Structure 1
Amino acid sequence: MFAPCPYLPLHVPCHVAALPVLGAGLLSFRRLLPAHPGVCDHNMEAEDPVSHLRNNLNCPICWEVFSNPLSLQCGHSFCQSCIHTHWDREAAMPSAFTCPECRLSFPQRPEPQKNVSLSKVVDDMKALERSRAPVPAAQTDTSAHNAVPALCQRHHQGLIMYCSTDSRCICIKCLMKGCKHHDLQEIDELSAQQKMKLSNDLLASDCLQKHAEEEMEKWKLKIENMKVFYEKIVSGIITTFEQVRKSLDECQILVVNSVNCDKNVALTQAEDHVTHLQRHLDELQKHRAEAERLLRSDGVTFLEHLPQLVPVGVAPGSPNIQQCGNLQIEAVTKIMPEVTRLLQEELPNMLHPEKPKKKCQETSDISTSVDVNDACSIARTSGNVLCGPKESTPRRTPAKISTLRVQLCKDYRNLKFNPETANKYIEISHENCKATHKLHFRKNHVSDATKKFQSWQVMCTEGFTEGSHYWEVVVSTFFVEVGVAYGSLKLDSTIGRNSSSWSLQLRSMHHSFWHNNKETKLQSPMFAKIGVHIDLTAGSLTFYGIQNGSLQLLHSLSWPFSEKVFPVFWIGEDANVTICTMPNTAMDAVTVGR
């Protein structure tokens, strides 16, 4: 019936594609439709009178309501801009000027006159439209027999296509005016496709919800098993400690608290995961409710609100929770019997060293500056060493001490002094590994007073928030304090004299431990070489004295470190502190020895 239109995409319906061939005569064709029932518009009877009037006041060129209508001698009217644009194009052609409606030719460019009556009718129609309530885009009633056809809010005509480019439903005028070359699809076809896709997504969501529910139940069961597991550990520890003398009550509390700390960490992680799973389930249920509401809506409402339906993310991954307790169990079953024997039998004569029961492999000492040969010796020895619980009492057996030192050196850290924090009397040298107290201002003094300590102190560049770390230092005289502190330590503070730092005070008469301005005097020999071990995961800080390749425990404490910890040193007059370093090759060898 109609010739194919070259200006529309091939997938536009044939009854829509045929309309442009009528050109500027479409208005006349629409006026003839009621006289021919065979081709009558099915929506004509339900068409609003104002919309019908609006359709008869359209310019045959732009298909919009007349704007400044002008009339030609032949009687046809057009928008002022439309007719002049038409004649501007014809002026470049050899043919005469014509009427776009009836094709009447004019020898010269006509001078159309303003159609005052038509302009008045257009103004009255626009005023009438403004006085009326806007027609809703879609009805909420989903019943087919009660549904009112949705109209274009721009042109008040029936919606026939969905423009994927503009993400909206369009009418024939939208199609001809702005969406002619856009990506167009049938409303019913696209709605059916998207509903099918959303239905499939809901099926997948059901699987995700089922998996999340099963995962939550599994983790609830794991939590109960964890509680039983840790309760058994605590019960076993308490039962074992009941066999020990009353002097071990403090150790008993320490071990039980350590287990409870591990328990709280593990339970917190597991309960947090259950909380995340519950939140994910709530999001899935909310998504399902919104999707089901959209599925019950009509095509236009569905397509308009579908982009607002945010998909639910993936379920949270399962955390890798390590059930600790091996350290505490090993301490009770292996160490405590030996401690009991030492307290009951060996304590009266503790000054006499214990003869080793087993012949252990010799290990090399770490010198003031740990060289490659010593480190490689430690690495070779470490291959035959088993990790055991941390030492809490002095050991006098050189072989056992060497074994402990090998284990500590696996976590050895090569520290550097931070010159920006050094007091003005502290001079940093030897590649930031040596700090010396000078009686005059140091040459490399940093002028920024906001970073340096006001007391005779210097902080290291490296700080730690987790894990196990070990380092060794050598002091020139017993007028030094070795310790650690939070990064928030005030610059006018002295380590050990506040709640943010811990220090080992080395004096010629005795050694002392300081924290929160409280001194604990230590009954131990004098050591010029000190080893410091901090385990932030276990919450422990230990100071060792080093002599002839042996470690002697000076002081140890447990503390729940809550901030980043930095090594800090207080250096008295004419004293210096040298940080022992281990070459990278030696550190790699120790790591391989694991």
Structure 2
Amino acid sequence: MVVKAQLRAKLEVTQQQATQAHTQLQELQQQKSQIQNSACNLASVVSGKFSCLLQALELRRISAQRDIEAAQTQALAPALDEEQRLRGHLEALAQYGQRVQGLLEQVDDQTFLQDLQQLSEPPGPFGPLTPLQWDEDKQLGNLKELLSLLSGLLLEEGAPATVPARAPDLVPLKAPDPEAQVPSMVCPLRKKLWQNYRNLTFDPDSANRHFSLSCQDQRVTHCRRSQGPARLGSFELWQVQCTQSFRVGHHYWEVRTSDHSVTLGVAYSELTRQKLGTNTDNIGRESCSWGLCIQADSVLARHNGDSWRLPRVSARLLGIDLDLACGCLAFYSLEPQVQLLHTFHALFTRPLYPVFWLLEGRTLTLCHQPGAKLPPAPQEAASALH
């Protein structure tokens, strides 16, 4: 009996230790999640600042080029007058020389004397040239001043506050604050698009087994090694779709890519998930999907097996605008400025899921914007049709 009592006491101690270890594990996981979320949010803040800076730099580059061209025109204006005067002077000298040469070749003395009396005096010296004024240091000085002001965007007092170490409610990546200093020529369109902003998440059950989801299912990375057994209903193709779908209304979302070799699009739920042939993707290859493929040297818009080659653009930050009432699906490049890449026009008859393909080593992040509206619930979408 004494031995049993000792064993029970040891068991009780072991259970207490196990409970304590579970609690410590939960605390550790919570701290880990908080650090991951904080890092994602900090990356978003920095990315937003650099995005604004790149857009402002592009505008300043255009402005600086115009200033240099205007200064060049002003500096060369006197040169045009001097050049015209010099050409006139050279022409007068040439004419005088021809007349003198003609006199020297004259063999008749009487004619020579008559022509000599009519010969005017040679043109006088042209005189010193007016020095052209071109202050290269002044042009560079103005540019340096502009760059100094622009670099202040990263350190301005209006920058988002430092992310706290503990922030359980933080979202991984958000769109830049609408009030941030974005050049006015690109702000209005993007702000208008933000009116229908949707915060989306990837569907883990749809992800290819080589895909790793993180940041609360808002970031996906294509890994070389399998991340586990394939889930029921997941893509055999290198693809993943979102949990949310859209049946009615107007919706907009943004995606940040780590590099080219990615495809963004929307598809009906019947999009084939099995791999057929050698292709590792099928977005835009079937009638039930529409996609934009970002390649190293170009951009392709695809639907039902047809493709349209578009000019190469910066495609690190992309926007997708879906207006179901108008039957329009538009893709935008957002850096260094907002640029419409392609618009599909179709009669969408079933719920559409955002869907993505990415090459090995690539990462996609669904940007989140605080205060963005959630997609309508299925029952709300259904009732809106009646």
Give the TM-score taking structure 2 as reference length: 0.49
Higher relative contact order (CA 8 A, sep 6+): 2
Larger Rg: 1
